[in-house]
Amino acid sequence: MSGTTASPFPPASWRGIDDVVIVGGGLAGLFCALKLSPRPVTVVTGAPIGEGASSAWAQGGIAAAIGPGDTTQAHLADTIAAGDGLVDVKVAEAMVAEADQRIHDLLGYGVPFDRDLEGALKLSREAAHSERRIVRVGGDMAGSAIMAALVAAVRKTPSIRILEGFVAEQLRCDGRYVTGIVVRDLRGGLSARMLLTTRAVVLAAGGVGSLYEVTTNPSEARGEGLAMAARAGALIADAEFVQFHPTAVDAGLDPAPLATEALRGEGAIVVDKAGKRFLLDLHPDGELAPRDIVARGVHEARNCGRGAFLDCTKAVGADFPQKFPTVHAGCMTAGIDPARQPIPIAPAAHYHMGGIHVDGAGRSSLDGLWACGEVAATGAHGANRLASNSLLEAIVFAARIADDIQGLLPNHKVVAWSGEAVDEAPADADGQSAIMTRLRQTMSRHVGVIRDADGLCEALRIFADLEAQARHPQLNNAVIAARMIAAAALARRESRGGHQRSDFPKTDPAQAQRSFMTLADCSPMAAEAAQSAAMPHAPAA
Ligand SMILES: Cc1cc2nc3c(=O)[nH]c(=O)nc-3n(C[C@H](O)[C@H](O)[C@H](O)COP(=O)(O)OP(=O)(O)OC[C@H]3O[C@@H](n4cnc5c(N)ncnc54)[C@H](O)[C@@H]3O)c2cc1C
């Protein structure tokens, strides 16, 4: 490896690496690290903790059935209804039942959830929830407030060692056992690769939104965690189910600022450029219909030139800066005053229901590998996530993983780091950003809100080309994640939840099962589809 002797890696303070390595400094990773304390753990994260994470951008809050009259059964019923036939009921039941405890954990870490005059937690309502059950902070600042409290708690927990500026690239395995992880030190342009030998790896590396051209996610959300697990042979579940948020602000910014669902909860309406409300034609709940239905309505209105706008002028009006400061700032940056004018909106890739298949303890199909947060597929969301259930899922499963690891490996050991070159893996950046641009365009065009076999085969053909050109391991991981999403979307010949096929527009009861795929299953199928797309007049698969 070039430059290792001159590099300050590993830092002089390192004597070894803890036997639990958590990849990701978002809510799932940090909550897991705190729950494992006082056991020493190492958190590896590309961006500084709290940055480069969707968690810090969450606007709505966390769903928890803690209000008067609300029940976990009602929360479960709403979760199942949104999930469109694919929710794993046992998993979802456990998740909603643990919400109360986990919210109290967050309060213990200092999260300043909004309270009413009597000191009770204030609850708001979001689309497809039958009750007011979202705990929030400062209107739309839940994510940044939760992460600020957790980052402060982590920084003062001596058992947590944080490696910021280190990007995980590859799992190391011995048969079915994950034995370590290869990370790249990106600080100061060093680009040195190191092997961290561990007994447990927790992947909490977030979602896939940034594989799309229009997304609400930070650029770090490129499916690298999913791809690393897939390359090591782990089972990937439900990869085809990507949720598109219907109301991203359409002002040409990347990522696109989000106009939170809570605005529609407050009465904001979706209109076309003639000022006509159109969502009631699609669903009796109109603006509060499930996300996939609203996203499709907005997508179609834009596609046929009618345009789509979120009109908050009456429902929120002059209170906008106080009630929704984050959205207000995002709109003003884009030159839109949301108190006075309708906000132009577009659907944007927002959340991945699919990911690394895990069981109720967060264990993947590989020994020594756990996953939590958006990178994992627990089955709690089915084909479509209910708003504000993802932060909940992240903390519930992070806590479960901490318990599981503590039970399986009660004694902490310092394992090893290796300062030796692990292999020659060039981090050649030349021409690589053009590959990422092509990948993102392809995902939005062919693997987006509405899909069909021809487009998916074409996407797989393009990804095969891009894979051959990608020389950077991170980029390779991004292409593999994209390929798995497209292949799973091609395999599901129906429309359900976040997955809509114009060539199979109906939901097929015979396909009401979750999907499971390894990279080994995906590769021949992707190659065949790519080949059929390359042939003139390829028949639809
Ligand atoms: C704008 C927006 C608003 C949202 N609002 C809500 C809401 O109100 N309620 C709700 O429940 N959900 C909401 N969500 C979804 C929710 O925020 C995410 O699903 C959740 O925060 C995911 O948490 P996580 O810890 O799994 O991932 P993240 O918070 O994204 O963290 C992933 C971490 O992994 C790091 N990472 C990634 N790849 C690597 C690598 N190769 N090596 C090292 N580190 C890596 C990243 O830098 C980051 O630190 C929202 C999402 C967005 C984008």
Q: What is the pLDDT of residues 250-277, one digit of tens each?
A: 988 999 999 988 899 889 999 999 999 9
Shortest-distance atom of ligand 1 to CA 217:
53
* Whole-number Å distance between alpha carbons of 435 and 336: 32
Averaged pLDDT for residues 177-191: 82
Helices and strands, counts by H and E, the chain: 15, 20
Q: Are 494 and 501 in contact (CB under 8 A)?
A: yes
Q: Residue 14, SS3?
A: coil
| pLDDT, mean of residues 152-168 | 94
Which residue in 39, 193, 291, 461 is the catalytic one?
291
Hey, what amino acid is at 116? D
Share above pLDDT 70 across residues of the chain, in percent, rounded to a whole number: 93
- Per-residue pLDDT at 2: 38
Check whether the bond before 344 is cis (ω within 30° of 0).
no
pLDDT of residue 424: 54
Report pLDDT for 526.
83
Q: Is residue 28 helix, strand or coil?
A: helix
What average pLDDT does this structure show over 104-109?
A: 97
- Residue ID of nearest Cα to ligand 1 atom 44: 45
Which tokens sit at 330?
A: 């995002």
| Cα–Cα–Cα angle for 184, 187, 189, rounded to 5 degrees | 90
Q: Which residue has the tokens 């994950």?
A: 178
pLDDT of residue 541: 45
Dist CA 527 CA 476 (whole Å): 16
Is the distance from the beta carbon of residue 378 to the nearest atom of ligand 1 less than 6 Å?
A: no
Q: What is the pLDDT of residue 471?
A: 83
The kind and range of the H/E element at 401 are helix 390-408
Q: In whole angstroms, how far apart are CA 423 and each of 1, 2, 165? A: 7, 11, 20
Minimal CA–CA distance to 166: which of 34, 311, 52, 321?
52
Asked if pLDDT for residue 97 goes beyond 50, the answer is yes
Q: Check pocket membership of 146 for ligand 1, CB cut-off 6 A.
A: no
Look at residue 536 in the predicted model and tell me its pLDDT: 66
**Is residue 442 within 8 Å of residue 485, measured between CB atoms?**
no
Q: How far is the CA of 103 from the centre of ligand 1 (A)?
A: 18
**Phi, psi torsion values for 13, nearest 5 degrees:** -75, -10
Q: How many whole angstroms separate alpha carbon 154 and alpha carbon 160?
A: 7
Q: How far apart are CA 87 and CA 65, in angstroms?
A: 18
Using a 6 Å cutoff on CB, does residue 45 contact ligand 1? yes
**Predicted pLDDT at 18:** 85
* Prediction pTM value: 0.93
State how far the Cα of 388 lies from the Cα of 135, in Å rounded to an integer: 9
Ligand 1 center–CA 205 separation, angstroms: 8
Q: Is the pLDDT of residue 11 over 60?
A: no
Residues 6 or more apart whose Cβ sits within 8 Å of residue 360 = 90, 91, 94, 378, 400
CB 374 within 8 A of CB 54: yes
Whether the per-residue pLDDT at 368 is higher than 90: the answer is yes
Q: Say which residue, 78 or 431, is predicted with more confidence.
A: 78
Q: How far apart are CA 520 and CA 484, in angstroms?
A: 10
> For residue 86, is pLDDT > 80?
yes
What are the residues whose beta carbons fall under 8 Å from the beta carbon of 41, sequence distance 6 or more? 18, 20, 21, 22, 33, 159, 160, 161
Averaged over 159-181, what is the pLDDT? Answer: 93
Task: State which ligand 1 atom lies nearest to the alpha carbon of 49.
Answer: 49
Helix ranges, 53-88 (H): 72-82
pLDDT at site 420: 54
Residue closest via CA to ligand 1's atom 3 equals 58
- Residue type for 266, please? E
| Whole-number Å distance between alpha carbons of 78 and 83 | 9
Point out which residues pair with 421 in neighbouring strands.
Answer: none
Could you tell me the sign of the dihedral formed by the alpha carbons of 290, 296, 299, 301, in that order? negative
How many whole angstroms from 206 Cα to the centroid of ligand 1?
5
The CA–CA distances, whole Å, from 182 to 194, 283, 360, 420, 505 equal 6, 48, 27, 11, 43
The mean pLDDT of 123-141, rounded to a whole number, is 89
Asked if 197 and 17 touch (Cβ cutoff 8 Å), the reply is yes
Site of tokens 């390192």: 14
Distance CA 541, CA 522 (A): 15
Other CB atoms within 10 Å distance of the CB of residue 247: 30
356 closest CA partner among 454, 199, 481: 481
291 a catalytic residue: yes
Residue 71 has pLDDT above 50, yes or no: yes
- pLDDT bracket for residue 288 (50, 70, 90): confident
- What's the CA-to-centroid distance between 175 and ligand 1, angstroms? 30
Q: What are the pLDDT digits (tens) for 391-400?
A: 999 999 999 9
The pLDDT of residue 190 is 60
Rounded to 5 degrees, φ, ψ at 367 are -70, 140
Residue 313 Cβ < 6 Å to ligand 1: no
Interval 303-348: pLDDT, tens: 999 999 999 999 999 999 999 998 999 999 889 999 999 999 999 9
H/E element, 154:
helix 142-155
For ligand 1, the distance from its centroid to the CA atom of residue 26, given in whole angstroms, is 6
Identify the pLDDT of residue 260.
87
Question: Do the strands 160-164 and 41-45 form a parallel or antiparallel pair, or are they unpaired?
Answer: parallel
Q: Which of 133-142, 209-218, 469-478 has the highest mean pLDDT?
A: 209-218
> How far does residue 52's CA lie from ligand 1's centre (Å)?
8
Spatial CB neighbours of 12, under 8 Å, sequence gap ≥ 6: none
Q: To test the ligand 1 pocket, which listed residue (31, 32, 35, 54) has its Cβ within 8 A of the most ligand atoms? A: 54
- 237 membership: H or E segment, kind and range: strand 236-237
User: Using an 8 Å Cβ cutoff, are 441 and 450 in contact?
Assistant: no
Among 113, 210, 353, 391, residue to substitute to test ligand 1 (most atoms within 8 Å of Cβ): 391
Q: 527 pLDDT exceeds 70? A: yes
Q: Which of 175-179, 345-349, 508-512 has the lowest mean pLDDT?
A: 175-179
Is 243's C-beta closer than 6 angstroms to any atom of ligand 1?
Answer: no
- Give the per-residue pLDDT at 6: 43
